């Protein structure tokens, strides 16, 4: 190899079928000058990468000016202690995390930029977590990923047979959840290999794999990189298995201690194993550092370091190295030598993607949905539902159960309310028998008993007591809701009172009055008794006047209650609360549905894997909208059938608009669920957030109490909540029968539509930017 071509990255040549000797290939991966053009020629090129977790006050520096060069066609072993930042570096490479500073080039483009194909099908990513659906079979899993990558089912089946043999996986119809831990990891590897990507990124693929199979996997990796078409980056804890890699990067303290071929490292450091090299490099790195070494003194003493004739091997002062971390691989500063675009090194082997910054225009967030992505995602969602049919029956049945419970339990007048009566018109004998005789017709005998009969018709249970104090005591002890006291001359006084008119003496007025003491601790029951005691009295007076051939209207209070314009003469709470309750049930079950679905995906790492494969957040949301919408249609149908057909709640308006509004509100709930699932990282937080929003919405949206009764400070903001105007709108349709043209009705549709847009945009932005 002449001087000009030395250091040339392997040229992809599809026609070249001769495997190239591994030692010859390693020579290509020698140090070379770094320019933007050469960086774009590498499979992966990282420069001056800084990544910090935590707060400004308490930063956790993970990548500290790290440089990395992965030539095309190489197997690159990324080594380092647990927690040193390997996964973080990989997730920055695949475009799932952003660096705080520095640059990354992957397959010639910036991850996330338009046309770079990264994230996308050019990459095969096997994350550290299993990131698979346990409820799917091996075949279904591979079909799902195959479709995502745009493969057809026949090709997937063919590749499935090959991968099952290669990775010694069991029958394709076995469920992933029933595989052993090691088998699941191999399954995860198969999902990354299915589409033969240009760049394979494998985060610990050989954990839990026996040595023989581990060797098979490595042989396969060597095989697919033979012709320079595929590049592999692999992290592993088994340092010595990377002897087969073309290049290894030893990571420590946020930097690479070395980036070399394994043979060169062993030679340079006079070591027998790569573990030995790693130890020596770690000791060298710690030399000269003021902070306490993390390596035990006995270990340091036992290590024989090579003579540092080469200053690049001296890592003890690497803090000052800036961009140069040593003469390893391509880690030479671009600024240290001028760019040389005429060099034959920079001749592109394959067309490179346009050099662009990560896209940030608004239209990019709403990229057109790819049909193969949507097909895979929707199929996956339905398959998940089918495999969890019990859960789905519960989800669909829950709103109906809640509606039934609401209709049976809420809004009906309480019955069997106990009233204690001290009636001094009763003789001791009658009192002992609890008898109160009624004299019908135009008869003024024992009018107290006649009144009580009307009261009993209003579902009040009357018990007689001998004294007033006894009756009051029963109320005090909570055995009755009220005490009524009749004077011994009640009937006579009542007649006198009507006859005397204005000249009625006070004693007669007192005796003709029914004395009432209620337990008003329960507002609903207290108000009901208050109402019934008065209504019973009016019925009683009208009845006597009628029996005595007098006009019953004389006994009424002089207010004529005509038929109401809207609603019933005696309105019921069920009709008032039903619209709000129906919308709340559909809204919050939709929240639970979507926030749960997305959080589960995120927890199991599937979402991450999906996004790396090129699926956009918008596509994931859209697929869930499609499947959950179908579920919601079932829920809505059942809720409305039970509300209006079975329980016959009032419906004066158009059922069509009721259905539309309920569906729109469900959609709004789904979008709110997306926001929650995109904003939080685990199910517990999602549950807290959903529950936390439930109570304020119930209280502030006029569902259980009219907004007019709210504190003035709450009235205005409550109009901006998602269920306020829609509840009012539904109430107007069902109770008043108003059409869609009425502003009270269409405002509910508009406000819900605006909320849908807000939530949808919020969740897409969160998916886009919440990478870490």
Minimum distance, C-beta of residue 772 to ligand ATP, in the bound complex (Å): 5
DSSP-derived letter for residue 705 is S
Establish if 9 lies at the interface with ligand ATP (CB under 6 A). no
Minimum distance, C-beta of residue 81 to ligand ATP, in the bound complex (Å): 7
Q: How far apart are CA 91 and CA 612, in angstroms?
A: 9
3-state secondary structure of 466: coil
Of 81-89, 109-117, 182-190, 344-352, the segment contacting ligand ATP by CB under 6 A is 81-89
Q: How far apart are CA 403 and CA 584, in angstroms?
A: 11
Q: Which residue, 53 or 694, is less far from ligand ATP as judged by CB?
A: 53
Contact 242, 248 (CB under 8 A): yes
Minimum distance, C-beta of residue 92 to ligand ATP, in the bound complex (Å): 10
Strands 44-54 and 59-70: antiparallel
DSSP-derived letter for residue 317 is G
Minimum distance, C-beta of residue 212 to ligand ATP, in the bound complex (Å): 24
Q: Which residue, 62 or 703, is less far from ligand ATP as judged by CB?
A: 62
Of 83-91, 157-165, 342-350, 447-455, the segment contacting ligand ATP by CB under 6 A is 83-91
Contact 258, 250 (CB under 8 A): yes
Q: Which residue, 62 or 66, is less far from ligand ATP as judged by CB?
A: 62
Residues 116-175 that bind ligand ATP (CB under 6 A): 128
Q: How far apart are CA 672 and CA 760, in angstroms?
A: 8
Among 39, 86, 110, 139, binds ligand ATP (CB under 6 A): 86
Q: Which residue, 157 or 681, is less far from ligand ATP as judged by CB?
A: 681
Minimum distance, C-beta of residue 675 to ligand ATP, in the bound complex (Å): 20
Q: Which residue, 79 or 745, is less far from ligand ATP as judged by CB?
A: 79
Q: How far apart are CA 106 and CA 101, in angstroms?
A: 16
Q: How far apart are CA 400 and CA 389, in angstroms?
A: 17
For 545-578, the three-class secondary structure string (H helix, E strand, C coil) is HHHCCCCHHHHCCCCCCCCCCCCCCCCCHHHHHH
Q: Report how many residues bind ligand ATP under the rule CB under 6 A.
A: 13
Of 77-85, 106-114, 349-357, 690-698, the segment contacting ligand ATP by CB under 6 A is 77-85
Minimum distance, C-beta of residue 166 to ligand ATP, in the bound complex (Å): 25
Minimum distance, C-beta of residue 89 to ligand ATP, in the bound complex (Å): 7
Minimum distance, C-beta of residue 131 to ligand ATP, in the bound complex (Å): 14
Establish if 208 lies at the interface with ligand ATP (CB under 6 A). no
Of 79-87, 350-358, 600-608, 684-692, the segment contacting ligand ATP by CB under 6 A is 79-87
Residue that is written with structure tokens 């309750």 in the block: 581
Minimum distance, C-beta of residue 90 to ligand ATP, in the bound complex (Å): 8
Among 18, 83, 173, 440, binds ligand ATP (CB under 6 A): 83
3-state secondary structure of 418: strand
Of 86-94, 100-108, 157-165, 651-659, the segment contacting ligand ATP by CB under 6 A is 86-94
Q: Is the peptide bond before 98 cis (omega within 30 degrees of 0)?
A: no
Tell whether the torsion through CA atoms of 210, 215, 218 and 224 is positive or negative. negative
Among 84, 233, 346, 610, binds ligand ATP (CB under 6 A): 84
Among 62, 142, 277, 649, binds ligand ATP (CB under 6 A): 62
C-alpha of 479 from chain center: 49
Written as six digits, the tokens of 756 are 């849908």
Establish if 88 lies at the interface with ligand ATP (CB under 6 A). yes
Q: How far apart are CA 293 and CA 290, in angstroms?
A: 9
For residue 501, CA distances in Å to 105, 279, 684 come to 102, 113, 72
Q: Which residue, 51 or 139, is less far from ligand ATP as judged by CB?
A: 51
* Segments in 441-572 forming alpha helices (H): 447-456, 468-476, 490-500, 506-512, 523-547
Contact 12, 37 (CB under 8 A): no
Minimum distance, C-beta of residue 685 to ligand ATP, in the bound complex (Å): 14
Of 76-84, 134-142, 441-449, 750-758, the segment contacting ligand ATP by CB under 6 A is 76-84
Residues 6+ apart with CB under 8 A from 257: 250, 251, 278, 281, 282, 284, 285, 315
Among 65, 85, 120, 666, binds ligand ATP (CB under 6 A): 85
Closest by CA to 122, choosing from 619, 613, 605, is: 613
DSSP-derived letter for residue 733 is I
Minimum distance, C-beta of residue 673 to ligand ATP, in the bound complex (Å): 23
Among 87, 141, 574, 595, binds ligand ATP (CB under 6 A): 87
Establish if 380 lies at the interface with ligand ATP (CB under 6 A). no
Q: Which residue, 202 or 631, is less far from ligand ATP as judged by CB?
A: 202
Q: How far apart are CA 545 and CA 498, in angstroms?
A: 11
Which H or E run includes 187? Answer: helix 181-193
C-alpha of 397 from chain center: 21
Minimum distance, C-beta of residue 116 to ligand ATP, in the bound complex (Å): 23
Cβ neighbours, 10 Å, residue 652: 13
Q: How far apart are CA 508 and CA 512, in angstroms?
A: 6
For residue 593, CA distances in Å to 134, 582, 599, 767 come to 19, 17, 10, 18
Q: Which residue, 60 or 100, is less far from ligand ATP as judged by CB?
A: 60
What is the secondary structure of 210-239 as a DSSP string? -HHHHHHHHHHHHHHHTTSS-EEEEE-S-G
Q: Which residue, 98 or 370, is less far from ligand ATP as judged by CB?
A: 98
Establish if 58 lies at the interface with ligand ATP (CB under 6 A). no
Written as six digits, the tokens of 505 are 């003496």
Minimum distance, C-beta of residue 203 to ligand ATP, in the bound complex (Å): 7
Minimum distance, C-beta of residue 59 to ligand ATP, in the bound complex (Å): 10
Contact 269, 277 (CB under 8 A): yes
Q: Which residue, 83 or 344, is less far from ligand ATP as judged by CB?
A: 83
Residue count of the chain, please give it.
Answer: 772
Establish if 772 lies at the interface with ligand ATP (CB under 6 A). yes
Establish if 82 lies at the interface with ligand ATP (CB under 6 A). yes
Minimum distance, C-beta of residue 415 to ligand ATP, in the bound complex (Å): 59
Of 80-88, 459-467, 493-501, 618-626, the segment contacting ligand ATP by CB under 6 A is 80-88
Cβ neighbours, 10 Å, residue 43: 26
Residues 251-290 that bind ligand ATP (CB under 6 A): none
Minimum distance, C-beta of residue 762 to ligand ATP, in the bound complex (Å): 21
Residues 6+ apart with CB under 8 A from 564: none
Q: What angle do CA 89, 94, 99 make, to 5 degrees?
A: 50
* Segments in 513-614 forming alpha helices (H): 523-547, 573-603, 606-612
Q: Which residue, 35 or 236, is less far from ligand ATP as judged by CB?
A: 236
Among 53, 634, 647, 746, binds ligand ATP (CB under 6 A): 53
Q: Which residue, 60 or 507, is less far from ligand ATP as judged by CB?
A: 60
Minimum distance, C-beta of residue 237 to ligand ATP, in the bound complex (Å): 7
Of 82-90, 539-547, 624-632, 700-708, the segment contacting ligand ATP by CB under 6 A is 82-90
Minimum distance, C-beta of residue 50 to ligand ATP, in the bound complex (Å): 13
Q: How far apart are CA 421 and CA 439, in angstroms?
A: 19
Q: What angle do CA 703, 705, 710 make, to 5 degrees?
A: 115
Binding pattern for the stretch 635-654 against ligand ATP, x by CB under 6 A and - elsewhere? --------------------
Q: Which residue, 539 or 681, is less far from ligand ATP as judged by CB?
A: 681
User: Which residues of this chain interact with ligand ATP, rule CB under 6 A?
Assistant: 53, 60, 62, 80, 82-88, 128, 772
């Amino acid at each position: 190899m002449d001087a000009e071509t030395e250091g040339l990255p392997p040229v992809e040549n599809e026609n070249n079928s001769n495997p190239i000797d591994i030692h010859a290939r390693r020579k290509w991966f020698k140090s070379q000058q770094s320019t933007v053009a050469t960086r774009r020629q590498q499979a992966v090129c990282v420069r001056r990468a800084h990544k910090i977790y935590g707060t400004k006050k308490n930063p956790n520096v993970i990548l500290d000016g790290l440089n990395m060069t992965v030539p095309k066609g190489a197997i690159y072993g990324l080594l380092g202690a647990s927690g040193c930042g390997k996964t973080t570096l990989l997730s920055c490479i695949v475009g799932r995390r952003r660096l705080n500073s520095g640059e990354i080039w992957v397959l010639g483009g910036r991850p996330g930029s338009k046309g770079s194909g990264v994230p996308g099908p050019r990459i095969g990513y096997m994350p550290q977590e299993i990131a698979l659906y346990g409820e799917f079979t091996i075949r279904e899993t591979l079909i799902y990923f195959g479709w995502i990558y745009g493969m057809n089912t026949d090709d997937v089946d063919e590749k499935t047979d090959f991968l099952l043999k290669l990775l010694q996986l069991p029958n394709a119809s076995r469920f992933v959840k029933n595989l052993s831990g090691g088998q699941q990891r191999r399954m995860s590897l198969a999902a990354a290999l299915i589409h033969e990507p240009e760049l394979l990124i494998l985060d610990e693929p050989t954990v839990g794999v026996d040595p023989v199979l581990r060797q098979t996997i490595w042989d396969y990796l060597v095989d697919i990189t033979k012709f320079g078409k595929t590049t592999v980056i692999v992290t592993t804890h088994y340092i010595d298995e990377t002897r087969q890699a073309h290049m290894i990067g030893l990571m420590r303290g946020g930097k690479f201690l070395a980036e070399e071929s394994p043979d060169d490292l062993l030679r340079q450091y006079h070591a027998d194993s790569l573990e030995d090299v790693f130890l020596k490099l770690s000791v060298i790195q710690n030399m000269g550092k003021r902070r306490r070494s993390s390596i035990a003194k006995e270990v340091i003493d036992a290590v024989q370091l090579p003579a540092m004739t080469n200053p690049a091997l001296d890592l003890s002062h690497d803090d000052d190295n800036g961009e140069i971390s040593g003469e390893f691989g391509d880690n030479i500063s671009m600024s240290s030598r001028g760019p040389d675009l005429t060099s034959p090194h920079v001749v592109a082997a394959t067309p490179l993607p346009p050099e662009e910054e990560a896209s940030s225009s608004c239209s990019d967030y709403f990229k057109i949905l790819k049909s193969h992505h949507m097909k895979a995602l929707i199929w996956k969602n339905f398959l998940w539902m089918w495999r969890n049919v019990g859960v789905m029956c519960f989800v669909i049945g829950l709103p109906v159960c809640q509606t039934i419970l609401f209709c049976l339990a809420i809004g009906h007048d309480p019955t069997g309310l106990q009233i204690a009566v001290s009636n001094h018109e009763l003789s001791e004998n009658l009192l002992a028998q609890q008898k109160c005789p009624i004299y019908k017709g135009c008869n003024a005998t024992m009018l107290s008993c006649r009144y009580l009969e009307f009261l009993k018709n209003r579902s009040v249970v009357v018990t007689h007591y001998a004294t007033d104090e006894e009756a009051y005591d029963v109320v005090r002890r909570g055995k009755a809701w009220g005490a009524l006291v009749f004077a011994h001359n009640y009937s006579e006084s009542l007649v006198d009172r009507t006859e005397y008119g204005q000249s009625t003496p006070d004693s007669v007025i007192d005796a003709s009055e029914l004395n009432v003491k209620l337990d008003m601790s329960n507002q609903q029951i207290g108000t009901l008794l208050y109402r019934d005691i008065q209504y019973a009295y009016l019925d009683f007076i009208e009845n006597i006047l009628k029996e005595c051939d007098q006009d019953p209207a004389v006994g009424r209070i002089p207010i004529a209650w005509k038929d109401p314009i809207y609603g019933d003469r005696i309105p019921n709470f069920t009709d008032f609360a039903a619209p709000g309750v129906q919308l709340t049930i559909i809204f919050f079950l939709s929240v639970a549905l979507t926030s749960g679905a997305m959080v589960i995906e995120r927890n199991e790492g599937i979402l991450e894997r999906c996004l790396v494969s090129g699926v956009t957040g918008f596509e994931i949301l859209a697929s869930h909208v499609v499947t959950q919408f179908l579920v919601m249609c079932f829920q809505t149908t059942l809720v409305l059938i039970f509300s209006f057909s079975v329980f016959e709640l009032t419906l004066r308006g158009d059922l069509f608009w009721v259905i539309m509004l309920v569906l729109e509100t469900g959609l709004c709930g789904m979008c709110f669920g997306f926001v929650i699932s995109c904003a939080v990282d685990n199910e517990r937080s999602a549950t807290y957030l959903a529950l936390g929003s439930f109570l304020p919405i119930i209280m502030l949206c006029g569902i259980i109490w009219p907004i007019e009764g709210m504190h003035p400070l709450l009235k205005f903001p409550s109009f901006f909540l998602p269920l306020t105007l829609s509840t009012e709108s539904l109430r107007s349709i069902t109770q008043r029968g108003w059409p869609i043209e009425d502003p009270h009705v269409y405002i509910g549709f508009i406000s819900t539509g605006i909320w849908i847009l807000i939530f949808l945009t919020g969740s897409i932005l969160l998916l886009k930017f919440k990478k870490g």
